[in-house]
Structures are given as C-alpha cells and as structure tokens.
Amino acid sequence: MAELTYRDAVARGLAQEMARDPDVVMIGEDIGKAGGVFKATVGLYDQFGPQRVRDTPISEQAILGAAMGAAMTGLKPVAEIMFSDFIAVCFDYFANEFPKSRYMTNGQVKVPLVVRTGNGGSSRFGAQHSQSVENWCMMIPGLKVVAPSNPRDVVGLMAAAIRDPDPVVFFEHKSLYATKGEVPDGEIVDQLGVAKIVRPGADCTIVALALMVPRALAAAERLQSEHGINCEVIDVRSLVPLDTQTILGSISRTHRLFTVEENPRLCGWGAEIVSIAADECFYDLDGPPVRITTPHIPLPSADVLEDLAIPSVDRVTETVRKAMSA
Amino acid sequence: MAKAVKEEKAAVSTAGLSEELRLRMFRTLIELRETEQKAHDMFLQNLVKGTVHLSLGMEGIATGCATAMEPGDLTFCTYRGHAHTLARGVSMEKVLGELMGRDNGLLRGKGGSMHLTSVEHGVMGSYAIIGAHLPIACGAAWRAQYKGDGDVSVCFFGDGTTNIGAFHEALNFAAVWKLPVIFVCENNMYMEYTPISEVTAVENPAADRASAYGLEKIMGDGQDCDEVYRIAKTAFDKARSGGGPSLLEFKTYRFGGHSRADPAKYRPAGELDFWRDTRDPVKIYRKRLLDLGVAETVLASIETETRRKVDEAAEKCKAAPPPSADLLTTDVYADGGWAWRN
Amino acid sequence: MEVLMPQLGETVAEGTIKKWFKTVGDKIAPGDNLFEIETDKVSMEVPAISAGVLSEIRVAEGAVAPVGAVVAMIGDAVIGGDGAAAQPVASSGAAAAPSKAPQKNTEKPKTESSKAEAPKADAIVDAKKSGPLKLDPYREVRSPERNFGPAQLSNGITATPLARRLAGEGNVNLTNVRGSGPRGRIVAADVHIALQSSSGRAAAGVSTGPSLAQVKALYKNVAHEEVALDGMRKVIATRLVEASQSIPAFYLSLDVRMDRLMVLREEINAGASKDKDGNATVKLSINDFVVKALALALKRVPAANAVWAEDRILRFQQSDVGVAVAVEGGLLTPVVRNADTKSVLAISAEMKDLGARARVRKLKPEEYQGGSSAVSNLGMHGIRQFTAIINPPHATILAVGASERRPVEMAGGVGMGGAGRERPFMPAGLQFATVMTVTLTCDHRVVDGALGAELLGEFKKLMEAPSAMLI
C-alpha cells in the first residue's frame, strides 16, 4: 500500500498498462519530455521512450485523428487533450468519428482508444480552462465516459479504460491532482460501469462525481453531526456505462435523491439520473429529487467568485438540510 | 500540342508499364464507370435513397492510385468514395447494395453511400466530415511506422478540403513525424457549388501549400491513368522506404453535380462538354491502349463483360431484402450491443 | 432480481446459510431450492421465485445475514462474464419488460431491517452487477408497471409517490391520514404511522397471515399440490380481504314464510307451455323471486339502495342487483340491471343467460360491475343460514338459505291455499311451514341497524305476499 497523489496515480496507471502491452502508446502536447503540463505523465518518457510517449504540435484534431487511425489499425493509443475545454476544438472526433465508426461500418472498424483530459474548475484558470464537460461526452451514443475522484480509482479505471475495446474519455480533475490517497501495490484493474457507495446511509441518496465527491462526503459529515441526517453518498465514477442499479437501489432504500454536479445547470449529467429515477423510482420517492449544480453561467476567474459558483460543502449541506426538513 | 511531344509524353507516361498492368487499369476504369453510371440510373429509379456523390469523370485517380498500391496498403477517402472502394476490389454488388440500403450491402445498410468501408480490402473508411480523415490516415501511418509494418496510408480528398483546419494539422503532423502517408488531392475545380479559385488564396489548392509543410510541389493530370500511376507509385515507394509523406494534386473533373441533388448549373457553358469529349479518363485510356496496339475486341469484351457484371449485381441487389430491424441496435459497442446502463 | 434472507419467525432477526444448492452460473427456474437457512428455531429451504441465472452469491455457506439482506442475485447472465449476453432484443420489446420493472414495486423488507443492511463502502470494485440490462430501444427506462393513484386526493391534500404506494400496498385510505409534509402533504412516515395504528395487525401488503415460506415450512413433510391463483381467485382474495378489513359490517337475520310463494311458483311453472322438445318454456326458481323482492325492497327503502364512495354515499333510483353464481374455481356476480322493473320471468331468463355465460367465463366487465346490492343463495346446497361478505362498494348483501319444513307456532283459523281456495281449518299450535332464513350484511357507514331492518322487513313482506311482485 502506498500513498499517492492523484497525478502520480495517472502515471502509475499508464505505466502499468504500457508495461503490460507494447501496443499502448501515448500522444499529446508536452506529455513526454515535460511530463505533462499538470505533471501527470512524469517519468513515462524515460521509462518507455520517445516512440511510445510522443509529443505533438498544438493540433487537437490531428492528435485525436491520429489516435483513431492508430487504434483502427492495431494500437491502443492514449491521447491527451490538455484542458477538457479544448474538446470543443476537436469535437468532430468525439461526436462523429470515434463513436460512430463501428456502428456505421457494421462492426468492421474498432476504435479502442482512450482520451484523457484535464477537467473541472476550482483552480482559478478562468472560463475557458475550468469547465466540467463530462456531459458533452455522455450524450454521444458510442462513447464511454469515466471520471475518478481518488487516486486508487484513477489507477483502476485507467487500466479498465485502456483495456476497454471501445473509445473511452477519461476525465481527470485538475483540482484533484494534488490530493492524496491510499493505493494498493500491484496490478489494479477496475471496471467501467460500476458506481461506489462511498458512505452508506439511510435518509437520502447523494450522487456525486469527481471533485464533488469529497465535497459531498464533507457535507454528509456535517449533516450527520449537526442535523442528524444520515446521507448515503454515491461516487458515480462512470457516466457511460451508467450503474443505474446501484443508484436506483439506493433510492429505493432512502427515498430521497440529490445530485451534486460541477457542470452548469442545463443538461448536466445529474439531469439524466434524476430523469431515470423520477421514472423508474417514482413510487420510491418521498420528495422531489434535487440537483445541486453550478449556476448556468460561464465560470469567473477570481477565487471568491469561482467558489460561489461551483457547489461548495456549505451549499450542499444547506440545500440537503433544507430539502429534508421541508 | 505537336504530335511528337504528345507521343513522347505518352511514352514517358507508359514507360515501365506492362500490358497486363495496363489492361488491369482499363478494366478497373470500366468497372468504376459502369458501376457509378448504374448508381446514377438507379437513383433516378428511386432505388437509391438519400443522395450519392458520384465519381463520374474522376475514375482515373482512383484507378491509377489503387493499381499502384500494395494489397496491405490502406485507403482513406471521402463521401465521394465509391470509385476508391471498388478500385480496391470490393464487389459491385456490395457497393450497390449499400447504396440501396439492402441487407446484402457492404455495411448492411448501417452506413450508406458516404461511409463505404471494407477493412479486409484495406478501405478504412469513407468519411463525410470534410478533412476528418486526414489526421486519421496519419494515425494509421503512425502505427505502420511504430510497428514497422511496411504499409502506407493513402488519403484522398477534394480541393475544398485544403482550406479546412484538419488539412493543415494533418499535413504539418505528418511532415514533422515523417509518416508513411500520402495525401492525394482530387482537384475537380469546384468546392461543392463554388469554383475553388474563388475561395482559395493560392492557384493550386494543394500543390501550392506543400512548401508550407516542407513538402515537394507535385501535380499531375488526373484524367491520365498512367500519369497518376507513375506519380502515385513514386510517392508510395518514398513513404514505404521511410522518406515521409507526400502531397499530390491531380486535376480532374466531375461530370455530375456535387451530389445527385445538384444539377451543377453553376458551370460555364461548354465546360462539361469539353471535359466529357476530350478529357474523359475512360476515353483517353481506351484510345491510348488502341494506339499501343491492344485489340479493339479485347477492350470491347472487357466493356461488355463489365456491363453484364454490373447488371447482374444490380439485379441481385434489387432482389435483396432490406436490413432486419434487430440491426438497429447492434455494434454500437464492442460487445455487439448498445447498452449504456445496467 | 435480488434474493433476500427471508423472515422465518416473528422474533428472528438473522439467519445462517447452511448450504447452497446452486452455484454461480446455474440456470434457475421458479421453485428451485436455492439455499438452506437455519435460525435458532428452525431450518428451511428457500426456493427461487424468478427464473434466470444465479449470477452472484453474496453470502456464503456458514455465513450469517440479517433478515432482508441480499444473499444472492439472479440475473439474465453471469456478471463479469464476456458480455456475450448483451445482445439486445430490439424487436420483441414486450419480452424485455416484465422481469425488471415490478421489482421496484413489490414488497420490500421492512424499512428498519433494510436500513441495517446498506452495503459497505468499497464493496463494489469486484464485478458484482447482475448482467447487462436487456435494453429495448423504445423503453430504455423501466417505468413502474402499476399506478398508485393521483398525487392530489379528493380533499385537495397531496401525497408523495412513495406515500401513495405504501398506502396502496398497505390498504390504507389516504384521506384518513394526516400529512406532516409541506402544505399538509402526506409523506411516507405518515402512512407508516397509519399502518401501525390500524388494528395492530401486520400492515405490510394486501396479503395477510403467514408467509408462503412459513406455511410451506409447516407442511414440509406432508404431500400437497400447489394450486396457482388465477385472475379470478386473486381478485376474490384481494377484494374480500379489503372488504372484511375495511367495512364495518353487521348482520341481520330473519325467517321468511315461503308457503305462499311455493304454491305460486308451482302454479306458474305447471301452467307453462311446452316447447318443441318437450321442455317447459317457463321454469322459475326461488332465487328469481328473491332477486325481484330485493329489488323492489330497495325501491321501497331508497336510503338503502346505495353504495359507499370513499367520503360520501351514492344513492340510486334504479335497483341493480348482483347475483352470485358459482363457477368452477370460484364465483362471479353478474348484475341484473333495473331488476325492480323487470318481471320475474324476465329476471329468470336473464339469470339463465348470465349464469351460463358466467360459468364459461364469457361475461363482459360491464355485466358484473356496479349494482347496489347482491344476492348469494346457498339454499340449493342445504345451507340453513350464513352470512355473506359485501362486494365493495355495495352497502348490503343478502345471504339466502334453504327453504325447509320447520315447526312453527300457528294461530288457528282458515288458511289460504292457491287460487283463492280455502284450506281446511287449521287448529292453533305447532305446525309445519316452509321457512327460509335470510341474513342481510350491512355496511354500517351507509345502512344503520334500523334501516337494514326496514329493508329486510320489506323483503319479507314481498316474499310472503308474492302477488305484489307480479304487478
């Protein structure tokens, strides 16, 4: 067992898979010699060499297109899009190329690639470098989407994503890179499509993702100690495939649903979960499902303003308390 | 042009090409022409739905390049990809079946005209988003380079593509990494409904950009199969031996509109007739073979047999059923299904 | 589909799994024994109630689990498998639905025990899910199969969906529940309180009494045949349990002197012409008269010609009378509409038709729904007297016994025979007469004692002076 930072866990997961399979290659801007702008790929260039960890020009479309061509013809590329906001620059590959090729070609073309990207705010990078855009990928049929919240899940889900034969978008959270967690030794391979109940409870279900998971947990602690409300917190981890069974099972026990989402309000990932719950769990709900999200605004740069936008522990606590006591 | 110069040009073009190769190219030309003409006619009979982007008049480039490719080489083309697909050996029946949305189609009706793909023939896809496949071809070439597989990726696109971002990213990328990829621009002078000259800062949309990426300016007559073959083969050999990418520009012309919906009224009067009468790659090559001593009967029998094969394929497709409903949700994911939840 | 640790006895809170009869990957059919459990009192085999594949065992042999804990999963395929089971069944959409949807609405273990067994954190990393869902492209989300009523009650109060379901399953009338939620909204806790305070009986679910497992445990070593419930049986079970639990019923009995009616009936039947096969064209039964008499009585006592409608009474002008008909495996109650206006002959003909069609289950819903009262006659089986259970929402039901010769005290005098002929002089004292005992069950919310007695009194008058029924 070792304590690793989230960013070291990224490198650890990549190294684990690259050591195992010579077809796993990496491509991205400044990922090789520089070890990544977030220092998430430090050491890999030295360990695996310039043929397997390749730096590119600033060409997001070329990066993803090349990853796809390589994946189609036998490699297992892991491409980096530095800031997830830049997904918009190369969106054609996410929307039209990766996810549709297998279907359109009646199963002939395979796209076993991973796109890793630095997602999320709270690091004061401003509106175009701080967005949470998992929902941009969740909505496209044919993609898979994961967003780990802790170092152990980073390793396990990275391995699962690389081994998955479908295109997987791996959202690393920029503000979690420095956080630490226990990671067991040895090979770790997790599963896509499995959510985790990170805090069992009885009074309500709080579903969260990535950075919002530690915030939800902190809020749950306060809700218990200050208000006697016993929350069950679920780390969704995987938006597609979605572990509805765990989430709906939880709701059938607690009868109340909250989501904590970093994305702006409209069409956030929680909207889909609330919709499924309102349908399948309608007769398990004892109150309206509540979404706690960033308001539907671009993110401001100043720290005080950004902290007002992204759901905070205070806001989560107060929102849940108020809804449960109504 | 003086006759002597013409002859010399022809001699240069055909230098090193065996009669067997030439006949192979002729057969390919005819197959492409007849199949594409059948697709044109079936559209008018409402057997082909949606739209199709025909290569009538542009067969020379597909023929010359495909003939110069080795069996393991990879083709990436655009939505105007019927000719490129057929030229790599995919059957007429499968191509026509796909255009008609039948179960016997190359993609069983899942992809349609714009996405013809046959991995077993090295046709790694026809791409509908302009420019998207240029970086993808780079990726396939990256793999060849990484694994030392020895194949090259050949990427076909139109003059309009040279103005989109992905074109420039891909060219730079391929040049910097010295990838075994060949970019082939089929300049038919029109970017959809607009003359290319009106929307491009340089005269030769691809060739005049080559130097921006440290590449040689290479141009050729797309209506001359032999010239295409020679230029393509040189570029392929260079890439195969580690010499890096090439950017080729072939001048050509499409006899039809951009798509079947386009009557192409934007062309100046007489232009179409000029190209159809004097710059038709089929007519040009037919005459060349006759000049080189190939018997008329040989050529005619190829033509007749091809027409028969096309008709036969068309009839098979007309009798084929539509794809069954359960194909709706197959092959979204690698497990063959589409489940996004448990 | 979750396999739960069952409740073996009232005081038992957990059980030990003694033995697994199946292993992961085995195909399971309903009724297959899955595992054996042992509590401090008893051990028993637990069968599967659904079909599928045993996809996961969560509590191993020798381990203890609390009642209500998930001990195993039965799914469509083994989890962690090669995903080959994921082929969708797109065209036969209906087939995909049933196995998944109802599980959310079927009885869950009591909330107290389910709170105790919430899964531990970190338990999820290993593959644990029951295989991929067989998605139907047009039904990617499984809407609940059953609707538990409107969000807003007739009194304007709202109830949460969960509260409605709990009330529906526990047979609680939401209009009698006080809501503690916002704006008086009824929440689950309010229904739980109502359930606990209602007659102290176990309130979960419509079916009361010992569970299947408990009963089967009692007869573990006695040979028996299991009879599944058909639709009719289920309806009988549900509605009559509901009736007997929710209706404040009381019973009024009296005896009817049948002599004059018997004579009248014999005369009418004897005088009937014969058809071409030699069968009588008219064959009135006692029950035909009973139906007519009750219908007329309801007209005469209109306050009793009514039904209970949750928070009010609906009173009718016409007399629609249901008649219980024994059919194989149960009974149906077709309704004779406007029985007060129909002749006894018409009623007889209608009853023959309805009865015949009831016996072959060919009645349309509109033929057995509605009515304000009903007649149940077991006289032909020799039953002297019985009480019937009201068919909600009726206010009354009349249970008719056999017509028997019984000793009665007669005043002396001249009796009347048929057709106005005088009978011989009968001395005072003990005589024999034909007597039939009828019992009227009344819903006290609609029909009080005196009103019920009045209705029964009119019935008796009509039966004892039957000429009034002929005009």
One digit per residue, the tens of pLDDT, for chain C of length 471 reads 778 776 655 455 677 888 898 988 888 886 688 888 776 555 667 767 667 888 888 888 888 887 667 888 888 755 443 433 333 333 333 333 333 433 343 334 343 333 333 333 333 333 334 455 677 888 888 888 888 888 888 888 999 999 999 999 988 999 889 999 988 899 999 999 988 876 444 444 445 677 787 788 888 888 888 887 877 787 788 788 888 888 999 999 999 999 999 999 999 999 988 888 888 888 999 999 999 999 999 999 999 999 988 888 999 999 999 999 998 888 889 999 999 999 999 999 999 999 998 888 888 878 888 899 999 999 999 999 999 999 888 999 999 999 999 998 877 666 555 555 656 666 678 889 999 999 999 999 999 999 999 999 999 999 999 998 988
HSE of B180, CA atoms in CB hemisphere, 13 A: 27
Q: What is the DSSP letter of C102?
A: G
Nearest to A283 among C119, C142, C165 (CB): C165
Class of domain C161-210: few secondary structures
Contact criterion met (CB below 8 Å) for B258 and B264: yes
- Give the pairing type, strands A24-28 and A53-55: parallel
Output the CATH code of domain A196-325.
3.40.50.920
Q: Hey, where are the domains in chain A?
A: 2-183, 196-325
Are residues C187 and A280, on separate chains, in Cβ contact within 8 Å?
A: no
Instruction: Give the nearest chain A residue to C68 (CA atoms).
Output: A253
Distance CA B219, CA B184 (A): 10
Report, as residue numbers or ranges, the catalytic residues of C.
444
Per-residue CA distances from B44 to B41, B261, C116, C156, C402 (Å): 5, 11, 71, 64, 86
Tokens of C197: 């305070």
Task: Report residue C457 CA to chain centroid gap.
Answer: 30
Instruction: Give the nearest chain A residue to C130 (CA atoms).
Output: A245
Interface test with B, best of A53, A56, A59, A60 (most B CBs within 10 A): A59
Are residues B326 and C90, on separate chains, in Cβ contact within 8 Å?
A: yes
Q: Comparing C-alpha atoms, which of C55, C142, C130 is closest to residue C97?
A: C142
On chain C, the residues whose CB falls within 8 A of the CB of A275 are 141
Q: Decide if B144 touches A, using CB distance below 8 A.
A: yes
Percentage with pLDDT > 90 across chain A = 99
pLDDT for residue B33: 97
- Beta-carbon count within 10 A of B38 CB: 22
Residue B338 lies in a domain: no
Per-residue CA distances from C313 to A31, C309, C338 (Å): 79, 6, 20
The ipTM of this complex is 0.94
Neighbours of chain B (3+ CB pairs under 8 A): A, C
- The structural domain count of chain B equals 1
pLDDT for residue C107: 39
| A326/chain B closest Cα distance in angstroms | 33
What does the pLDDT average to over B95-102? 97
Taking one residue from B and the other from C, the number of pairs with CB-CB distance under 8 angstroms is 44
Distance CA B213, CA B174 (A): 9
Task: Report residue B310 CA to chain centroid gap.
Answer: 19
On chain C, the residues whose CB falls within 8 A of the CB of A255 are 162, 188
Q: Decide if B123 touches A, using CB distance below 8 A.
A: no
pLDDT for residue C102: 37
Q: E strand or H helix at C306, and its extent? A: strand C306-309
pLDDT for residue C336: 95
pLDDT for residue C123: 33
Are residues C140 and B341, on separate chains, in Cβ contact within 8 Å?
A: yes
Report, as residue numbers or ranges, the catalytic residues of A.
129
Which value, in Å, is the radius of gyration of the alpha carbons in chain A?
19
What does the pLDDT average to over B82-90? 98
Instruction: Give the nearest chain C residue to B336 (CA atoms).
Output: C87
On chain B, the residues whose CB falls within 8 A of the CB of C87 are 330, 336-337
Contact criterion met (CB below 8 Å) for C423 and C417: yes
Q: Decide if C412 touches A, using CB distance below 8 A.
A: no
What does the pLDDT average to over B303-328? 97
Distance CA B153, CA B236 (A): 9
Q: Decide if B147 touches A, using CB distance below 8 A.
A: yes
Can the peptide bond before residue A184 be classed as cis, meaning omega within 30 degrees of 0?
A: no
Distance CA A125, CA A297 (A): 15
pLDDT for residue C203: 41
pLDDT for residue C100: 40
Phi first, then psi: give them for residue A24, nearest 5 degrees.
Answer: -80, 120
Percentage with pLDDT > 70 across chain A = 100
Are residues B342 and C130, on separate chains, in Cβ contact within 8 Å?
A: yes
On chain C, the residues whose CB falls within 8 A of the CB of A286 are 160-163, 187-188
Residue B335 lies in a domain: no
What stretches in chain A show pLDDT beneath 70? none
Contact criterion met (CB below 8 Å) for A178 and A12: no
pLDDT for residue C44: 67
Over chain A, what HEC string results? CEEEEHHHHHHHHHHHHHHHCCCEEEEECCCCCCCCCCCCCCCHHHHHCCCCEEECCCCHHHHHHHHHHHHHCCCEEEEEEEEHHHHHHHHHHHHHHHHHHHHHCCCCCCCCCEEEEEECCCCCCCCCCCCCCHHHHHCCCCCEEECCCCHHHHHHHHHHHHHCCCCEEEEEEHHHCCCEEEECCCCCCCCCCCCEEEECCCCEEEEECCCHHHHHHHHHHHHHHHHCCCEEEEECCEEECECHHHHHHHHHHHCCEEEEEEEECCCCHHHHHHHHHHHHCHHHCCCCCEEEEECCCCCCCCHHHHHHHCCCHHHHHHHHHHHHHC
How is domain C243-470 classified at the CATH fold level?
Chloramphenicol Acetyltransferase (3.30.559)
- Give the pairing type, strands A231-235 and A196-199: antiparallel
Q: E strand or H helix at C352, and its extent? A: helix C344-359
- Beta-carbon count within 10 A of B133 CB: 31
Taking one residue from A and the other from C, the number of pairs with CB-CB distance under 8 angstroms is 89
Q: Hey, where are the domains in chain C?
A: 2-116, 161-210, 243-470
Architecture of domain C2-116: Beta Barrel (2.40)
Is the torsion defined by CA of B94, B99, B101, B106 positive or negative? Answer: positive
What does the pLDDT average to over B98-109? 97
Q: Which domain holds residue B231?
A: 3-329
Distance CA C326, CA C336 (A): 16
Q: Which residue has the higher pLDDT, B183 or C273?
A: B183
Report the CATH number at residue B186: 3.40.50.970
Q: What is the pLDDT of residues B131-178, one digit of tens each?
A: 999 999 999 999 999 999 999 999 999 999 999 999 999 999 999 999
pLDDT for residue C106: 39
Interface test with A, best of B77, B136, B172, B179 (most A CBs within 10 A): B136
C270: three-class secondary structure by DSSP: helix
Q: What average pLDDT does the structure give for chain B? A: 94
Select A2-183's CATH number: 3.40.50.2300, 3.40.50.970, 3.40.50.150, 3.40.50.1100: 3.40.50.970
Reduced DSSP (H G I as helix, E B as strand, rest coil) percent helix, strand, coil of chain C, to 5: 30, 25, 45
Q: Comparing C-alpha atoms, which of C52, C49, C11, C74 is closest to residue C213?
A: C49
| C382/chain A closest Cα distance in angstroms | 49
Distance CA A286, CA A282 (A): 9
